[in-house]
Amino acid sequence: MRGLRRWWDDTAGGLPATFWYLWSGLLINRAGAFALLFLSLYLTAARGASPSLAGLVVGAYGIGGAAGTLLGGVLADRWGRRATLLAAHLTAAGLMAALAFSRHLAVIAVLAALVGVAHSMPSPAFVAAIVDVVPEARRSRAFNLQFWAFNLGMAVASLLAGVLAEASFLALFLVDAGATLAAAVVIALKVPETLTRRPAVTPRAVVGRRPGLHTALTDRTFLTFVGLTFLLAVLTMQTSTIMPLAMRADGLRPSAYGLVVALGGALIVAGQLFVPRLIEPYRRSTVLAVSTGLMALGFGTLTVADGLPLYLGAAVVWTVGQMLAAPPNAQINADLAPPELRARYQSVFYLTFPAASFVAPALGGLSLEHLGERHWLVVGGLGLVAAAGHLLAGPRRERRVAALRAESERPVGVAR
């Protein structure tokens, strides 16, 4: 019992109550966010859309997501984290209910794009609020718990979605809307506004300009990190875009693909809470290099994979890499952001994921068609490039974080 308590203290101890309410809202939201998992099936089975038209509608959701990420970052820094979270959740719940009763494909497409905006707006605000309330020494653990909650919620959503979709598509959308509304209630009742106004602390490269979204978009140290994260996201997207095609080419059934994906999710849910203590003694750039290297090894192994056992073994390797990368990746992203631009920086960072969700299938499909199994050597090579990039960029990032910390701690009115 004493050992269990010590493990819990190392994993989640010392985190403020506001964090746990944010965490609960995220978990509820993710566990209920299952309607979009079946949007393409709903459009083809219930609304008579062709597969190509269904793909365009789902693509509209993705485009809305990119816009919502940037909008959420700007609003979270201007309105506040709580106001942005509430506006996004309430809007998403209303749009999802409207989507449940819509019949015309054009209306559904517009609503899907708007839902994409509303679903993506909370991400920068969530992370910015966590950074606002969690002491720096505990942030790695907080981000680790956030990643764990996200994956646990998605696992629950996947299970519930299948059951509800077989029973009623209407119920699928309405329960999704209800879960989003429940998350909004938790935020409204328990999460205070965490944004505090303070004198601007901007990187030297942009001193003299009025701080805004352009600050993040012209911050070379930050953009280098975003670029490396984009490579990591491209690797991660292989599991949901290109790997199913490769497994089918190897003669494996869809159930085999489901088993590989389920194994990764199970590993994250079972093991993610142990990661902070494991990586704590090491520099973040080193952890990211090792984690990205493991992902490169896992995906590179698929070059010789022709049966389920090798796919499962490779999945273990790349999932461990993902688990190790999650806390330092989020921590570095938070550390590089000036406090008054925290959510804007988050929004630029989160653009890597919709970008990767487009690039991975578009270029990956061509690569697989022309290179065959050698496609996985290219993917592994990208992972090794990212690993080397983290080692090379690490010292500059650390100097930048130290400079930002010194500036933020300088008493107001003291010249730089």
On whether both 123 and 238 belong to a single domain, the answer is no
Residue 301 lies in a domain: yes
Give the type of residue at 331: Q
Which pLDDT score, from 0 to 100, does residue 381 have?
95
Residue 390 lies in a domain: yes
Question: Residue 30 and residue 157: Cα distance in Å, rounded?
Answer: 7
Domain tally, the chain:
2
On whether both 282 and 366 belong to a single domain, the answer is yes
DSSP single-letter state for residue 192: -
On whether both 227 and 177 belong to a single domain, the answer is no
Which pLDDT score, from 0 to 100, does residue 19 have?
94
Which pLDDT score, from 0 to 100, does residue 12 have?
60
Give 93's Cβ-side CA count (13 Å radius).
17
Residue 123 lies in a domain: yes
How many other CB atoms are found less than 10 A from the CB of residue 118?
24
Which pLDDT score, from 0 to 100, does residue 31 have?
75
pTM of the full structure:
0.76
Residue 199 lies in a domain: no
Containing structural domain, residue 20? 15-139+162-193
On whether both 128 and 244 belong to a single domain, the answer is no
On whether both 273 and 390 belong to a single domain, the answer is yes
Which pLDDT score, from 0 to 100, does residue 22 have?
93
Query: Which CATH number goes with the domain that contains 409?
Result: 1.20.1250.20
On whether both 271 and 180 belong to a single domain, the answer is no
Question: Residue 72 and residue 85: Cα distance in Å, rounded?
Answer: 9
On whether both 369 and 415 belong to a single domain, the answer is yes
Residue 404 lies in a domain: yes
- H-assigned helices in 250-374: 254-271, 275-279, 284-301, 308-335, 342-350, 352-371
On whether both 404 and 294 belong to a single domain, the answer is yes
Q: What is the pLDDT along the chain (416 residues), one digit of tens a residue?
A: 565 566 555 566 678 999 999 999 988 887 777 677 677 767 877 888 776 677 778 778 878 888 898 899 999 988 999 999 999 999 999 999 999 898 888 899 899 889 989 988 998 899 899 989 998 888 888 888 888 888 888 777 766 766 777 778 888 889 889 999 999 999 999 999 998 865 555 555 444 445 677 888 889 999 999 999 999 998 988 887 788 778 888 888 777 777 887 788 888 888 888 888 888 888 999 999 999 999 999 999 999 888 889 999 999 999 999 999 988 888 888 888 888 888 888 888 888 887 887 777 778 878 888 888 888 999 999 999 999 999 999 899 988 888 877 776 665 444 44
Nearest to 127 by CA among 347, 288, 299: 347
On whether both 385 and 339 belong to a single domain, the answer is yes
Residue 151 lies in a domain: no
- 151: its two tokens: 């994956």
Residue 219 lies in a domain: yes
Which pLDDT score, from 0 to 100, does residue 416 have?
41
Nearest to 328 by CA among 379, 292, 298, 354: 292
On whether both 183 and 256 belong to a single domain, the answer is no
On whether both 186 and 271 belong to a single domain, the answer is no
Question: Residue 98 and residue 213: Cα distance in Å, rounded?
Answer: 32
Residue 203 lies in a domain: no
On whether both 248 and 372 belong to a single domain, the answer is yes
